[in-house]
């Protein structure tokens, strides 16, 4: 089936003194979207995909759903391609503005959120706040009123190859051998699993894994404490809008990459979705490599970030479908299971696509099975 791609955008007003994105007039936010639909045939239901940093309008699943007869919109938040200063609460506002716009622009009556990868926790965060809004400021204390935003709840959520949250993923991947952020290349040999002389080698025993995970949480909390302390000092100086960007080294270090017995699945061992984990750990595109004080608290902090799939799922009542790809190098099976277990939805379904990778790039032959699972689930519920 031939599909049509229609790029469009929308703008809405926002009062803020601190800009986190480059360009554009003060007081306005511009969000770009792509509508992907069959060349012929209307629909009252649309699948709305989004991700904190966007860029997924050409994902195999997105295109395949349109070819299967579904209307799809991919919404890029204001932080398209750059999460350096990203505030997740503002991603929710961008997504909410998109929901309102697509209903008036295209006349869709039903909206199904497509939560792919990092879009899964964003979808759950959005739906939680749309069903019972509570947030009026960011973790840094800056105003961001989700209560007054009038967020319209979605009618269903698809959690596709999704992880629990950016903050949990960061914590599970952060290198615990870094004990001093000002000396990131002086590392604790006992925890440096990429070092040839590390005394702890795979397969790891349970005691070492527990120690490793505790050290990861401890490092995340040290960075959080430092960010909060720096912000407090800036505000105490009388200039509450000042920011401080910083670098976080070592963010692709997980015992799952070096020990296939951890969170076992059909994934390829000794690799990650960014290639060789040891190189990606300090490479320029590592998770959260460049960030700011406010952004760290909103999206990467283990304790402060509000976007948490398991916790947000407890406030979600709409129907949900969770799909786990068993050979996924980014979102391992435990994440899908935790998301599914945390959902309060009475109508919730779990499906596994065996041997499928994260993007269906290595196994494109398995994409039709995933598309069939999604479309059948939607059909059963009248979407």
pLDDT per position as a tens digit, 147-166: 999 999 999 999 999 999 99
- The pLDDT tens digits of the residues spanning 182-201 come to 999 999 999 999 999 999 99
Pick the last residue of a domain from 245, 266, 300: 300
pLDDT of amino acid 117: 96
- C-alpha dihedral (181, 183, 189, 195), degrees to nearest 10: 100
Compute the distance between CA of residue 107 and CA of residue 101 in angstroms, rounded to an integer: 9
Residues 203 and 60 reside in one and the same domain: no
- Shared domain check, 25 and 12: yes
Structural domain that includes position 155: 3-165+305-380
pLDDT confidence of residue 22: 76
Q: Which two tokens stand for residue 180?
A: 């001093």
Q: Say if residues 126 and 160 touch (Cβ distance below 8 Å).
A: no
Last residue of a domain, one of 300, 334, 365: 300
Please indicate, yes or no, whether residues 148 and 254 belong to a single structural domain of this protein.
no
Do 145 and 251 lie in a common domain?
no
**282 shares its domain with 365:** no
The CATH number that applies at residue 137 is: 3.40.50.1820
Same domain, 177 and 157: no
Q: How many CB atoms lie within 10 A of CB 17?
A: 8
Q: Indicate whether 87 and 27 sit together in one domain.
A: yes
- What percentage of the chain carries pLDDT values higher than 90? 91
* Same domain, yes or no: 149 and 253: no
- Say yes or no: 202 and 334 in one domain: no
DSSP assignments along 154-171, one per residue: PSEEEEES--S-HHHHHH
Angle (nearest 5°) at CA 147 between 143 and 148: 85
10 and 158: one domain? yes
Q: How many domains does the chain have?
A: 2
The stretches in the chain having pLDDT less than 70 are: 23-24
**Closest alpha carbon to 67 in 367, 379, 377, 381:** 367
Instruction: Single out the residue in 254, 271, 300 at which a domain terminates.
Output: 300
Residues 81, 194 within the same domain? no
- Enter the pTM of the model: 0.97
pLDDT of residue 13: 84
Are 210 and 357 contained in the same domain? no
The confidence score (pLDDT) of residue 27 equals 78
pLDDT for the residue numbered 24:
67
Q: Are 292 and 107 in contact (CB under 8 A)?
A: no
């Amino acid at each position: 089936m031939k599909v049509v791609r229609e790029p469009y955008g929308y703008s809405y007003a926002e009062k803020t003194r601190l800009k986190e994105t480059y360009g554009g007039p003060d007081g306005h936010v511009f969000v770009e979207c792509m509508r992907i639909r069959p060349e012929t045939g209307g629909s009252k239901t649309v699948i709305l995909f989004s991700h904190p940093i966007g860029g997924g309008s050409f994902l195999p699943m997105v295109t395949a759903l349109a070819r299967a007869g579904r209307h799809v919109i991919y919404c890029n938040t204001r932080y398209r391609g750059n999460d350096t200063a990203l505030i997740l609460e503002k991603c929710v506002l961008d997504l909410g503005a998109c929901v309102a716009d697509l209903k008036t622009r295209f006349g869709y009556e039903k909206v199904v959120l497509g939560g792919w990868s990092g879009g899964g926790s964003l979808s759950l965060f959005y739906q939680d706040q749309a069903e019972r809004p509570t947030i009026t400021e960011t973790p840094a204390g800056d105003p961001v009123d989700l209560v007054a935003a009038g967020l319209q709840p979605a009618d269903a959520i698809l959690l596709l190859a999704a992880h629990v949250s950016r903050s949990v993923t960061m914590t599970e991947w952060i290198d615990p051998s870094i004990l001093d952020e000002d000396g990131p290349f002086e590392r604790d040999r006992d925890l440096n699993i990429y070092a040839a002389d590390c005394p702890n080698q795979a397969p790891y025993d349970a005691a070492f894994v527990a120690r490793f995970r505790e050290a990861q949480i401890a490092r995340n909390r040290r960075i959080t404490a430092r960010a909060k302390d720096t912000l407090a000092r800036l505000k105490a100086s009388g200039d509450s809008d000042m920011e401080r960007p910083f670098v976080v080294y070592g963010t692709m270090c997980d015992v799952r990459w070096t020990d296939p017995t951890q969170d076992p699945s059909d994934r390829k061992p000794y690799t990650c979705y960014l290639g060789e984990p040891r190189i990606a750990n300090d490479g320029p595109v590592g998770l959260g490599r460049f960030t700011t004080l406010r952004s760290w608290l909103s999206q990467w902090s283990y304790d402060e970030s509000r976007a948490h799939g398991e916790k947000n799922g407890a406030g979600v009542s709409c129907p949900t479908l969770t799909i786990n790809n068993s050979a996924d190098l980014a979102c391992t099976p435990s994440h899908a299971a935790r998301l599914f277990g945390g959902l309060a939805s009475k109508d919730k379904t779990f499906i596994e696509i065996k041997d499928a990778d994260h993007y269906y790039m290595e196994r494109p032959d398995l994409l039709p099975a995933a598309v069939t699972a999604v479309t059948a689930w939607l059909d059963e519920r009248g979407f």
